[in-house]
Structures are given as structure tokens and as C-alpha cells.
Structure 1
């Protein structure tokens, strides 16, 4: 029997939530006008359109996305929904996306200060997780890369490597880690030790690690990285410490009975790791290691790998091949390299 209590149409969002979005924006706008930071009516109209579109999407979700509950996954879904528009729509450009996310971040922070609440960092985190958007407004189209200092790199390597048993000690001698924790550290290890992007990490399969030809039995020494839309299929070497951690992860993965073909799945059933979840996991690892920074995000690890290889005398063309980028992109590293005394 059909449940007669079900509404025939989508329920309207609570009036209080509608008012909350409007009040937050109006209060921010009033302050901008009062300080003289925003005077042109054209700019005000653009910001109003941006906020109204964002608020309409949040209020149309089930459950409703509120100013306090908004998170990275919500913003990723919002951005994906915007790509359903025509390709000629200027609102799809990276510069527009950056302007939109900055507006959301500013309104959220102003709302938090006005209500004495904790600021919601979702928009700032989204910008940090999307470098192609983050640098869309940069004065230089190819900004200098952020990288780890020597002490930061050593500290991070020590933290990541603590996830595997030390030689001569049993696995029971250390505090047990969940398979997800080992996965998180091993995947971050490959960003630093093999120069991978977050997208590369999510695309890796069980066929990616190459152990044949390794000096140590069953230890991977390079990776076959599938093309993932942003970069072509390629091979890249793995630093010995990262290879040891990867080898340990493969053992943990097998013992946990994890299904599927993805090297770093999100679930025991083998479901592919999604961008928001992988970003949060990597961010948490960096925080726990004491190497967290909003500047550059986990891409600092890939940049550190590139600088390390160049310092070792590897040709820019070879490093570009390992990174899956055009050789011309290596100039950004050459500009910063003279100032780098040592990179781990």
C-alpha cells in the first residue's frame, strides 16, 4: 500500500535555514560596504548571484546543507553540479570558481565572528585541495612550488615509516594500526617518495607496483602509474623507504582480505577512494606528523620529490617523465633550485 503520508512534492527547506543563508550574506555585504571595500553595484550583483546559487543548492539537498554542516564533500558535489551547465558558461572557469569559493569562505568566517562560533574551513580546504583553482588568479601563471624543508621531510619520513615493523622486532611489539591508517601513510609516502599526485594515488591498481628486477625480494622499486585524465600513463621510481612502506601495505591489504583491484581502496569491498576522503586522510597524516600547512597541501610532497631528483643530477626531462608533465613545466623547479641547499 502506498504511504499516504509521503508528500507529493519536494518539501520546502526550513524557513530558518533560508533566513540564515540570507542573513549571513547580508551581514558580510553590509560590512564590506561600510568599510568601503565593495562599492561598485556590478560587483555586488555578481556576489549576490554567486551566493544565491550556492544557497539554493545547499537548501535543495536532503538533508539540507547548513552553514555549520557544510564540508569538503558538499563543496565537491556543488562544484560537480555546476559542470552540468553549458561549456560556454563563464561560471565554469577556474577564476570564477576561485572567486566563488573565496566568497563562501569570507561569508562563513564573517558569520562565525559575528555569532562567536568556530569558523567553518570547508571552502578554504577546498581551495587548498585544488591547486588548479588556487593559482587561477596568480600574477604568475606558474607560481613557485611549495616544498618540505629538510627537517620537515625527515620528520615526515620517520612518522610514515613507523607504520611498518622495524627489522628484528615483531609486529606485536608496536601499537596496532588499522588497515586504513597504514593505507593513509603508505599513500602519502608515495606522494613524497615517488612524486605522485593525489589523483595518481587514487588511480593506482595492484598491477602498479613493480617488484621484478628489485634488489630486495618482493619489494617494489618502481610504479606503473595509469593515466588518470590529468597526466599520461608512466613509470616512476620509488624511494627505498617508501618502497618498504608500500611492501608492508601490500601485506596488510592481503591479510585484511580487501577485495578489488585498486591499490588504495576506500573500503574492504574495493571501492575506489574518492577525492574528498583521500584529501582529508592525507591532511590528517600531515597534521599527525607535524608537517601540516595550508600552503601547497600534499602537493608539497610531489614538489619535494622533484627537487630531490634534480639535486641528485637527474635531467629535467627525465624528472618530467616521472611526474607525467611537459618538460617545459620544469622551469618552475629550476627557478627555486638555486636556493635549495639540501632536499631529503
Structure 2
């Protein structure tokens, strides 16, 4: 298994091997329409390799290694100038950092130095390729109406047939109503679920970095009654199924961890059933929608930082300015 230090001796070779695998595709922000992960084309791989070689060469010049470079070092890389002008414009700089973020994400490095560099640079002047899309109230209703349904009963069916559909349904509701990242949902642990419902029917989730690669800070979030009404029956069924382990939403009866690909495919199917555009359908859209609701209800950047588990108040302010944008197709079809 690759580790950050295993990339130090020959980072260019390590990256070249990484980019030629579906593991690289797993770190992408978008899933192909058919849900199949594919390695980059030869032309794309050539560009990725060229970019990584540039930053790797700079690291060597600076006496740095892949495993020890910090977000401050990466900020120096993208901030280089010649004759008083930036060598990399903001859009290209972001692409470099995003490429490195994928590498460190693949290697389970937390905190991710490239991700921290993205948080610290002036994103108000940066063009993001994946500007935040949100669902309108009407679209959110359509999304909930399109959630996975019970499996049809057959004469030979067992009492627990279709449990994965009920798992997916509960997980998607929790993601939408608690603003969880995909990594937070698939890494959600039984110990993080509050054991008592409040008088209003809500329960508290305590999200920790455990089993969640890109969760920066521990935080708590209140899951409202509608979410609790989906989650608690699933937890009861999970107990009846005697699924081992701590994952709230396990991949199988053995209690294994779900993959992001599985979540993306199942969520994509919900958006498709809801009749929404699939260009950006996914957990990010649900998280953006949750964040927008918090802001519409008067949350400050500091409040938003807390409920989303962000590292800095500034990153919450940036979220308000650049990530949460009205869905241009609010009255027709959508994604995120």
C-alpha cells in the first residue's frame, strides 16, 4: 500500500502509476453518467503528469519532499512571480492544488496540505470549476420523493430483503438534513449517534475525524425529526440484522465500509428518478443546499463553520460568497 513517504524517493513515478488507475478516478468530483470509474485518457494523463512534474521539480529545488511539504510551502509555489506578475493565474493555481489534494486524499493524509492551501488562498478571486449549486425548495421535495423505496415483496422474499435500499434511503436523508460530506456519511459511527431524542424529535450527531479522511474538525449537528424518523428505524433494522462493526451505513452484512462510488451511484439514481439534471448531482449539492438554508435562517459565518465542521471562519465566509449559488434551473431540472 502506498504511503506519503513511499512517494518521496520518486514522486513523479509514483504519481504516474497512480493516475493510471481507477483509484485516481475515485478522488474526482464528478462521476460519469453511467457510474463507471475510468482512468484518464492518454491526453488527460499527459497533462496531469506534466503538472505534477512541475510541482515535484519545484519541491526538489526547495529541498522539500512530498511527505513533508506544508500548505504554506504550496502557497509559495502558486504565489511565485516573474517580473512582478504571477506565474500561475488563479484558475490554474487552483487546478494544481486540486491535483495535489487528490494525491493526499488517496494516501489518507489528514490534514491535507493542498486542501489547507486552498482554504488559505484568496478564493474570492479564484474561478472554481465546481461552483456550488443548491436545490430549490421544490427540488428538495422532489429529491425526497424520489428516495429509494422498499423492495417489492415476492413469495420467496425474506423479512430483510431490500435492506440496502433502506440503508441508502436513511443515509441520503441524513446527508441532506445534517449537511454531511460523503466521507462523513460513509464513516459515520454508531458511537456518534445521540441516544436520546429531544422533545421535538431531533437527535444530535457528533461527527469526529475517525474513519473520515477529509473531516477537519469534530462538530455536532442536530438532525431534525424528519431525519431521525428515517435514521432510527434503520438503526433498529441494522441491529436486527446483527451487522457487526461500527459503521452506521455498512457496505454489506459483514459491516465493511461503503465506497464513495457506491454512494455516488445510488445518489445519482435518486436525482435521476427526481427528473433533475445529472451534471452535478451528488452529496455536494445536498451540502450546499443545507448551508444555504442555514444562511437563510440567519446563521453567521462562524455558526456555519461550526455546523459544517469547517476549519476556519474564513472558509465559512467563502462558502457564503462562492459556493452557494442559486440553481439556474430552479424551476426545471437540476444537479450538484
Q: Give your verdict on TM over 0.5.
A: yes
Q: Measure, in 2, the Cα distance between the counterparts of 1:243 and 1:213.
A: 8
- Structure 2 equivalent of residue 240 of structure 1: 225
Cα RMSD (Å) of the superposition? 4.5
- Structure 2 equivalent of residue 209 of structure 1: 193
Q: 2:239 aligns with which of 246, 251, 254?
A: 254
**Structure with the bigger percentage of helix:** 1
Residue 55 to residue 207, structure 1, CA distance change in 2 (3 Å): closer
- Structure 2 equivalent of residue 183 of structure 1: 167
The answer (yes or no) to whether the contact 2:217–2:309 under 8 Å persists in 1 is yes
2:160 counterpart of 1:160: no
Q: 1:148 aligns with which of 129, 132, 135?
A: 135
Q: Measure, in 2, the Cα distance between the counterparts of 1:146 and 1:338.
A: 5
- Structure 2 equivalent of residue 331 of structure 1: 317
Residue 246 to residue 55, structure 1, CA distance change in 2 (3 Å): closer
Equivalent residue pairs, number: 229
Measured against aligned partners, the alpha-carbon deviations of 1:65-112 in whole angstroms (never above 9, x if no partner) come to xxxx9932767xxx9xx9xx999637999736978xxxxxxxxxxxxx
SS at match of 2:230: helix
The answer (yes or no) to whether the contact 1:191–1:197 under 8 Å persists in 2 is yes
Q: 2:178 aligns with which of 178, 194, 209?
A: 194
TM-score in terms of structure 1 length: 0.54
TM-score in terms of structure 2 length: 0.55
Q: Measure, in 2, the Cα distance between the counterparts of 1:95 and 1:310.
A: 28
- Structure 2 equivalent of residue 221 of structure 1: 203
Q: Measure, in 2, the Cα distance between the counterparts of 1:339 and 1:163.
A: 33
Residue 56 to residue 252, structure 1, CA distance change in 2 (3 Å): closer
Report the Cα offset of residue 141 of structure 1: 5.2
SS at match of 1:157: helix
The answer (yes or no) to whether the contact 2:180–2:308 under 8 Å persists in 1 is yes
Report the Cα offset of residue 246 of structure 1: 0.8
Report the Cα offset of residue 332 of structure 1: 3.6
Q: Measure, in 1, the Cα distance between the counterparts of 2:126 and 2:296.
A: 24
Q: 1:265 aligns with which of 250, 260, 278?
A: 250
The answer (yes or no) to whether the contact 1:211–1:220 under 8 Å persists in 2 is no
Residue 86 to residue 237, structure 1, CA distance change in 2 (3 Å): farther
